[in-house]
Structure 1
Amino acid sequence: MIKLPPQISKRISITAMSLLIIIMVTATIAEKTYGTPFVNRHFYSNPLFIALWFVAAISGITYILKRKLYRRIITFCMHASFIIILTGAFITHVFGVQGSIHLRMDENPQQCFRTADNAEHKLPFSVSLKGFRTEYYSGTTTPMDYVSTITIQDGTDIEGTVSMNRILRHRGYRFYQSGYDADGKGSTLYVSHDPIGIAVTYSGYILLFLSMALFFFEKKSAFMRRISAACVLLLIPFVSSFAGSKLPPVLPAGTAEVFGNLRINHNGRIAPLQTLAIDFTKKIYGKKNYEGLSAEQVLTGCFFYYDYWKEEPFIRIKSKYVQKVLGIEGQYAKLTDFIGTDGFKIDEQLKTEKDRTHIRELEEAAEKFSLISSLCTGNLLKIYPVFDKEKGTFTWYSVPDNLPSSIGREKWLFIRYSMNYVAEKVAMKDFEETEELVDKIIRFQEKEAGKSLPSNLKFKAERIYNSLANLKLLAMFCLTVGLFGYIFQIYNIIKAKNNHGINRCLYFLLFPTLAYVAGIIALRWIISGHIPVSNGFETMLIMSVVSISFSMVFHKRMKNSVSVGFMISGLALLVAMMGDSNPAITPLMPVLSSPLLSIHVMSIMISYSLFAIMMLNGISAEILHRSGNRSSDISSLENSSRIILYPAVFLLVFGIFIGAIWANVSWGRYWGWDPKEVWALITMLIYSAALHTESILCFRNPMFFHRFCILAFISVLITYFGVNFILGGMHSYA
């Protein structure tokens, strides 16, 4: 029988959790300097760290039993599920075995695999590789999946396949696709043996998900006792302008647009040449058009009128240091600025430069020069598909590429000289004939590549997307409207006034805004063939849609919901635009092609959106508090944040553990102490504290709660931005 008084066990639990958070924060910082093996050894595998989890769990159980909280079945099951998950993790840590096995098609069956500490572990059966193949996205050489066919000799021969996100199980052992040999005759499989730990952990997940879902229907829960309202803040507007100049020659807009209809192998997929033109112009100049010229005009201008464009100052150089190296004044350089009396200026400077920042800046400038050079030589324009019989897919060639010897003479001549004919017609300014020749190349592509080309729906969707996806104006619009709504409503609260007319106008503006952003997401979905949640740009779009949708649903209950929606949407779009105004749509890495990824990302992004609303409510409450004691309005904001808190935390928890299941299916481990995983856990623990108002009494104070929401949001910012741009890790792409 445990003798600890409830208050003592509560303090022990809170202290243990606080120490765990401090250790995890320290570990993620140390990992940046000392590396992953160091922190795994000295932090996450440290007996003290493991003991603290044990202490937190035992003291938490003791407190629940002493307070007889087990009478509230759903709440009790929710807490019990975490104990079960921790138990499963402990079993995995102590008894689980993980390692890898390398198989060759021409070798005898193997019965051992090597663990992480390079020890041999014997299997109760033997394994051999029957075959390995790489599957490709249609019409490209971009890998879609890696598939190993293996035979297990265990009394009888059992044949099975292992691929990304597809596990082969046998007698408690799980095999995952990990790597392959360059010659395609060997495969490396990750092996895991942890039947009890996984069973216990997954049982905890199931209990947790069920109890979280049922919690919202529990009559006596804190969530059911609360009602809503919400508020906002912030803006960073800017205006850009540029002076006109005499432009180098380009193709007519219509002719350049026809070039945009060519298919091209770009970023590992088949896309309209228009997409390459936009990416090219943004990379070189920083925007998707130049001095009123379309991206297609810029691309084809550089290609057909190189002698003129090499003297055009359109290469953006942000670094003052590189500007000095090139000998230019201002941000824009010409191609000729890169060449000096001793050759390529950047190469000469890189030979002696020691500063890492300067080296990176020089390399970025050199990359732009190389990109233009690749275009002007034709190497960038991989527009000719040739079927590769060995790989069973198409390889796309540019004019200068070495063509396979097996290609027919007629096809060889067309690939070698068709673009020369186009160049001749351009030089003669016979643009009508130019367009006809481009159409011939398009028909060649359709004849050769056939069904491997993107469908007409995908092609048209991408053309529409390229014309729509400019988020700068929309971000500025949302931020401006949100700021106006925020100031207006705070003023009305302070002056005790109501003006429903303006609120109604702002509300109706939500609909076209939602339609525009949702349209961009839908188009990216059609183009890519997967739910667009694979990078930071796409998750910010999801966050924008979530915040607007939230405002539309709760606008009658929450005074500032419209302002909140516009502000968070604008900030999300601004972040997307600042990171990369329109990043390339690429095929998913094989391991990312899982529906669990979409659920994982969307759950977490919705929770972050809700935490942002709570943070803005807190700032609004702080403003009201400092303008005079407006306790009723502050209390209203508190209630709205309280009701948001529960789904926000639960969605974060759900997203974290769905991500753990996905990681286990993909890599054979459901937790790897990656910095993003750790910071998501830290964020979950921090916000979970606010759910325990019966145990942590300070959270009952409205202003304490609001200030907590403001400060706690720092952990969200670090989780999403800090890890991506500073700490790094496997999740830094997200």
Structure 2
Amino acid sequence: MSYCRRLGALVIGLLLMASPVLADDAAAGLEGFDLSEVRLLAIQQGGRLKPLDTFCREAVRLITGKEQFQGSDPVAVVLRWWSSDEAALAEPNVEIRNLALKRQLGLPEEKRWFSHRELSGNPALKELQEAIHAKHRTEEELSGTEDEASEVLVKMQLLKMIADGAALTILPNPGGLEHPWGDLTLLRNPQIASAMAPVGQAVKQLEQAVVSSQPEEFSRAAASLRDQLASMGPYPATGDLARETHFNQFHAFRKAWILYLAGFLCLFFADPRKRGTLYWIGLSIACFGFALHAYGFYLRCVIAGRPPVTNMYESVIWVGFGAVLFSLIFEFIYHARNYLLASTAGAVVCLILADTLPAVLDPSIKPLTPVLRNNFWLTIHVLTITLGYAAFLMSLGLGHMVVWKHITGPVAKDDPGADVVLKARKAELKSLTTALYKALQVGVLLLAAGTILGGVWANYSWGRFWGWDPKEVWALIALLGYLAILHARYAGWVGNYGMGAWSIVAFQGVLMAWYGVNFVLGAGLHSYGFGDGGNQWVYAYVGLEMLFVALASVRYRKLRGG
């Protein structure tokens, strides 16, 4: 009974963790201010039109490393930086984590945030800036420290542009939405200020309301500014801006991983021999998490106007989604909790990584590069191949379960009740290995189809079906690795344990094709997916997986020999 109470308390705690996320972000940082009108101001930035709410989140996250700096709403943070001007440059809000860079700049290693004024007067940073510019002119590769310094300089530049209004490109172009918009520094030009007097007056009133902490005056100025901007020329629909703002505040993917984790725990502790109350609770919670996951994808797809799988952040979320989708399909067909156990665990990891590593997995929505603008081939190729990754993520979880079951809980044949226990273990292992085999088959089918369709897309985009590009090569290696497992299983070369162990090893090939080519090699025609960061964590994960398989194999052989 106490065990059930503890499990119930843990699950309820996880659900309560999700409940604050169900509410919209509070306007912390400008208490008493209604930021709803300001959030919906359109801004042209990063190659697209977006609500000011999105810009503020991206800017604060880039500069400070956190979306809510010092617990304040990102819109409130940007408004304070803009209205305070020089004061914002004196505040410690530029994040520097790299110890080597701190040492080279002579900065305290224990500090994490530094002011723009402190950094702009640093002679060592100026020397690095000159070296970076020189290497850019000669197209030389930057060193690790120079690369870190370059990121700091970008943060400083963005902060300075926000403080003087140059980053706030909210003035519509009468020529159309696709034409460049103007920023607030244009209002300093007497001729432009005269022609846009109502806008300039609303901007000034908004700034004064922030500085003097007048919430009511702020609300009036914000409403006036929005009306004036919308009357200047073509302006994005309020519904589109509100939808993206809702997406930002709703945190669908964060709620989904919390619910997946709660569902996983219920399923993990449920009696595997029957579909009892705990099983149904876990299944219901997982389904609710999946619904929120799907809702988040729907919103992002509508906002971006395309399938949301064009960068690493989106593919990580999509792979977790696909794994749970496959497991639910198998669950309703075969009524075996193993699929859902494996996939919810994988989805939790995927969504936590996407939620907590914005510096590595950039969540911002960007315009597509030209090679990705044919939505038909983007949908067919990319969705297919990443769904293959999703099936292999599920097989990774099942592989761990198969291996773990083989190396734990040995039962001596002369123990009381040994026959019953051994029979139950044999049935459970059969169920697990059957699930793993089906997951591998689905993954191989989708990865093979996705790889072939990728060749069709390559021929359409680049004029050749196959060019031994690193992405193509590693996709082929991953496919051949899993084909080898299925072939070995069919031929009887590996048993249940071997299939589980090799499925763990084979996933490292998927990881290389998925992450390694883009973030480690950084070479080839698939440059639209390149990124950096997180290498040390991936290396550690691969090392731990190989160690786990090696130790498990030693244990398995020992048990068999005994």
**Per the shorter chain, which TM-score range?**
0.7 to 0.9
Q: How does 1:576-725 map to 2 (within 5 A)?
A: 576-580=354-358, 583-593=363-373, 594-627=375-408, 628=410, 630-692=425-487, 696-699=491-494, 701-725=495-519
Q: Which protein is richer in strand relative to its size?
A: 1
The one-letter amino acid of 2:352's match is L
What displacement does 1:277 show?
0.7
Asked which structure has the greater CA Rg, the reply is: 1
Report the more deviating stretch, 666-675 or 372-381.
666-675
What displacement does 1:624 show?
1.5
Which of 425, 435, 441 is 2:225 aligned to? 441
Determine the C-alpha separation between the residues in 1 that align with 2:213 and 2:486: 72
What displacement does 1:523 show?
0.8
Check the 8 A contact 1:277/1:299 in 2, yes or no: yes
Q: Give the corresponding residue for 1:457.
A: 239
Which of 455, 466, 478 is 2:248 aligned to? 466
Determine the C-alpha separation between the residues in 1 that align with 2:30 and 2:346: 41
Check the 8 A contact 1:264/1:271 in 2, yes or no: yes
Pair 1:288-2:47 in alignment:
no
Distance verdict in 2 for CA 1:419–1:702, change over 3 Å = same
Which of 532, 545, 560 is 2:321 aligned to? 545
Q: Give the corresponding residue for 1:263.
A: 42
Q: Give the corresponding residue for 1:216.
A: none
Determine the C-alpha separation between the residues in 2 that align with 1:409 and 1:306: 20
The one-letter amino acid of 1:708's match is W
Q: Deviations over 1:158-195 (max 9, x none)?
A: xxxxxxxxxxxxxxxxxxxxxxxxxxxxxxxxxxxxxx
What displacement does 1:409 show?
7.8
Pair 1:559-2:353 in alignment:
no
Q: Give the corresponding residue for 1:155.
A: none
TM-score (norm. length: structure 2): 0.76
Distance verdict in 2 for CA 1:301–1:253, change over 3 Å = farther
What displacement does 1:393 show?
4.3
Determine the C-alpha separation between the residues in 2 that align with 1:617 and 1:339: 53
Q: Give the corresponding residue for 2:540.
A: none
Q: Deviations over 1:217-256 (max 9, x none)?
A: xxxxxxxxxxxxxxxxxxxx9x9xxxxxxxxx95445344
Q: Deviations over 1:505-529 (max 9, x none)?
A: 1111112211211111111111111
Q: Deviations over 1:494-546 (max 9, x none)?
A: xxx65722222111111221121111111111111112121121122222222
Report the more deviating stretch, 674-683 or 428-437.
428-437
Q: Give the corresponding residue for 2:139.
A: none
What displacement does 1:414 show?
5.0
Q: Deviations over 1:108-137 (max 9, x none)?
A: xxxxxxxxxxxxxxxxxxxxxxxxxxxxxx
Distance verdict in 2 for CA 1:475–1:559, change over 3 Å = closer
Determine the C-alpha separation between the residues in 1 that align with 2:219 and 2:326: 48
What displacement does 1:695 show?
7.2
Check the 8 A contact 1:374/1:380 in 2, yes or no: yes
Distance verdict in 2 for CA 1:688–1:596, change over 3 Å = same
Q: Give the corresponding residue for 1:135.
A: none
Q: How does 1:7-46 map to 2 (within 5 A)?
A: none
Determine the C-alpha separation between the residues in 1 that align with 2:336 and 2:347: 17
Determine the C-alpha separation between the residues in 2 that align with 1:585 and 1:439: 27
Q: How does 1:126-205 map to 2 (within 5 A)?
A: none
Check the 8 A contact 2:43/2:50 in 1, yes or no: yes
Q: Give the corresponding residue for 2:102.
A: 323
Determine the C-alpha separation between the residues in 2 that align with 1:395 and 1:500: 61
Pair 1:518-2:280 in alignment:
no
Distance verdict in 2 for CA 1:306–1:684, change over 3 Å = same
Check the 8 A contact 2:63/2:95 in 1, yes or no: yes
Distance verdict in 2 for CA 1:255–1:323, change over 3 Å = farther
Distance verdict in 2 for CA 1:732–1:438, change over 3 Å = same
List gaps (5 residues or longer) in structure 2.
1-13, 18-27, 136-141, 411-421, 530-562
SS at match of 2:310: coil
Determine the C-alpha separation between the residues in 2 that align with 1:473 and 1:312: 33
What displacement does 1:679 show?
0.7
Q: Deviations over 1:271-319 (max 9, x none)?
A: 1111111111111222221233111100001111234433433322111
Q: Give the corresponding residue for 2:56.
A: 277
Q: Give the corresponding residue for 1:568.
A: 346
List gaps (5 residues or longer) in structure 1.
1-236, 240-248
Q: How many pairs does the alignment contain?
A: 474
Q: Give the corresponding residue for 2:114.
A: 333
Distance verdict in 2 for CA 1:372–1:647, change over 3 Å = same
Determine the C-alpha separation between the residues in 1 that align with 2:189 and 2:298: 39
SS at match of 2:173: strand
Distance verdict in 2 for CA 1:477–1:345, change over 3 Å = farther
Check the 8 A contact 1:259/1:438 in 2, yes or no: yes
Higher relative contact order structure (alpha carbons within 8 Å, sequence separation ≥ 6): 1
What displacement does 1:588 show?
2.1
Check the 8 A contact 1:289/1:295 in 2, yes or no: yes
Determine the C-alpha separation between the residues in 1 that align with 2:210 and 2:403: 65
The one-letter amino acid of 1:331's match is R
Q: Deviations over 1:138-170 (max 9, x none)?
A: xxxxxxxxxxxxxxxxxxxxxxxxxxxxxxxxx
Determine the C-alpha separation between the residues in 2 that align with 1:365 and 1:690: 47
SS at match of 2:44: strand
Check the 8 A contact 1:387/1:393 in 2, yes or no: no
What displacement does 1:378 show?
0.8
The one-letter amino acid of 1:618's match is G
The one-letter amino acid of 1:306's match is D
The one-letter amino acid of 1:613's match is M
What displacement does 1:549 show?
2.2
Q: Give the corresponding residue for 2:278.
A: 502
Q: Which protein is richer in helix relative to its size?
A: 2
Determine the C-alpha separation between the residues in 2 that align with 1:480 and 1:731: 37
**CA root-mean-square deviation:** 3.2
SS at match of 1:327: coil
SS at match of 2:487: coil
The one-letter amino acid of 2:156's match is F
SS at match of 1:584: coil
Determine the C-alpha separation between the residues in 2 that align with 1:403 and 1:307: 17
Percent identity of equivalent pairs: 25
Q: Give the corresponding residue for 1:731.
A: 526
Distance verdict in 2 for CA 1:600–1:586, change over 3 Å = same
Distance verdict in 2 for CA 1:664–1:445, change over 3 Å = farther
Q: Deviations over 1:448-477 (max 9, x none)?
A: 333xx3333322210110102374565355
Determine the C-alpha separation between the residues in 1 that align with 2:439 and 2:213: 63
Determine the C-alpha separation between the residues in 2 that align with 1:565 and 1:398: 47
